[in-house]
């Protein structure tokens, strides 16, 4: 909301009076509001284009998040092939170029017909803005779309996802440093607002590039490790006939866990959590068995000991579950939690650093 007000104020007080002098102040504010809404819709359209291509290639999209620098389509997993990432990354700038062409075309048509100056100015501004958005995103610096295109090209060339990510993220880090330096220089020269924008965008790009590089390293490591090496092989289970009261007193408080698999004679029937228990009236806890509140086991809850750890992590992201039941030939073999994966990565990184030292 504050960002929208700031953009509207900047357009109404500085940009549009310079483009179309002599109009009432109320008109400039209406132009600013219309342009801010157009900017928001342009960003949504840009990210929706990414999302449509991602879904076409089987990549679920959790949603689209808008933030101070634009937007991002939240994928629950990374592309499996270089071609998928290339097409998905290119879809956003292509959509922005289309919007730019439509706005500029409408500007020319309405201008030739002596249309309202306020309308033509807004169309010109949105056309130029979408063109700049497309060109900026094509810079080969991760996590910009151009950086993803660069990663896809390098990945397809060498077949090494981790190496390609490190190169693209390195370019993103360098570009972020350049923007930070330019921002500081502009602040010193008196352009405080423009300098702050470049400084913040540079910081964001550096942070996102570092996070992407770390995630790629984790992906490379986890892909080589089966779930059986990371899971807890001796999980505590509960019986479906157990009352909620006994479940809370004898299991939750005793083992300090909030989640347990429910088994009978070695078969996993489902899972139960404390939040399912608290949904029941406490006076009913001694009479209500776990089987009444447990969540039945589904395909999304299960992995095998042979599943690679990265595939299990992707499954957790896709389903929103932080724990998975490990089953082999119908028998419970263990429990895998996101904490297990993080602990393994932390230990692996620590040992790797010590060996390097």
Cα–Cα distance for residue pair 102/123, rounded to 1 Å: 9
Cα–Cα distance for residue pair 139/133, rounded to 1 Å: 10
Cα–Cα distance for residue pair 31/252, rounded to 1 Å: 59
Write the CA distances from 167 to 91, 172, 174, integer angstroms. Answer: 22, 9, 11
150 contacts 168 by C-beta, under 8 angstroms: yes
> And the tokens for 70?
């634009």
Nearest CA among 140, 150, 147, 130 for reference residue 45: 130
Contacts for 295 with CB less than 8 Å, ≥ 6 apart? 270, 271, 272, 273, 276
> Could you write out the DSSP letters of every residue in 6-54?
HHHHHIIIIIHHHHSTT--HHHHHHHHHHHHHHHHHHHHHHHHHHHHHH
258 contacts 273 by C-beta, under 8 angstroms: yes
172 contacts 144 by C-beta, under 8 angstroms: yes
Edge-first strand listing for the sheet containing 331-337 = 302-303, 323-328, 331-337
User: Which is the catalytic residue, given 47, 74, 245, 314?
Assistant: 47
> And the tokens for 66?
């808008």
Q: Is 85 a catalytic residue?
A: no
Left (φ > 0), alpha (ψ -120 to 50) or beta: where does 159 sit? Answer: left
Would you call the peptide bond into 122 cis, given omega within 30 degrees of 0 as the criterion? Answer: no
HSE, side-chain direction, 13 A CA sphere, residue 27: 15
- Residues with a catalytic annotation lie at 47
């Amino acid at each position: 909301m504050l960002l929208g007000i700031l953009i509207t104020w900047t357009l109404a007080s500085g940009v549009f009076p310079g483009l179309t002098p002599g109009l009432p102040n109320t008109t400039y504010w209406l132009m600013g509001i219309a342009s801010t809404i157009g900017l928001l819709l342009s960003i949504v359209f840009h990210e929706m284009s990414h999302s449509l291509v991602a879904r076409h290639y089987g990549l679920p999209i959790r949603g689209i998040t808008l933030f101070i620098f634009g937007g991002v389509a939240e994928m629950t997993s990374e592309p499996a092939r270089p071609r998928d990432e290339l097409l998905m990354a290119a879809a956003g700038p292509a959509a922005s170029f289309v919007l730019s062409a439509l706005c500029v075309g409408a500007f020319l048509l309405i201008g030739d017909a002596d249309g309202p100056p306020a309308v033509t100015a807004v169309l010109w501004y949105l056309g130029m803005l979408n063109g700049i958005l497309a060109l900026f995103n094509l810079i080969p610096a991760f996590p910009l779309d151009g950086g993803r295109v660069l990663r896809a090209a390098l990945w397809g060339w060498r077949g090494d996802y981790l190496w390609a990510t490190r190169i693209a993220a390195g370019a993103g880090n360098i570009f972020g440093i350049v923007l930070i330096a330019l921002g500081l220089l502009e602040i010193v020269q008196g352009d405080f607002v423009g300098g702050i924008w470049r400084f913040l965008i540079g910081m964001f790009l550096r942070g996102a590039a570092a996070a992407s590089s770390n995630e790629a390293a984790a992906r490379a490591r986890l892909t080589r490790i089966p779930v059986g090496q990371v899971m807890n092989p001796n999980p505590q289970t509960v019986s479906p006939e157990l009352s909620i009261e006994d479940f809370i007193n004898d299991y939750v408080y005793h083992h300090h866990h909030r989640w347990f698999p429910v088994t009978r004679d070695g078969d996993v029937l489902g899972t139960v959590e404390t939040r399912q228990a608290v949904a029941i009236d406490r006076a009913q806890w001694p009479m209500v068995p776990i089987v009444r509140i447990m969540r039945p086991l589904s395909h999304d809850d299960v992995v095998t000991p042979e599943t690679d750890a990265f595939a299990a992590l992707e499954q957790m992201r896709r389903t929103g579950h932080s724990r998975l039941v490990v089953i082999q030939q119908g028998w419970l073999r263990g429990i895998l939690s996101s904490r297990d994966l993080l602990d393994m990565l932390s230990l692996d990184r620590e040992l790797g650093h010590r060996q390097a030292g």
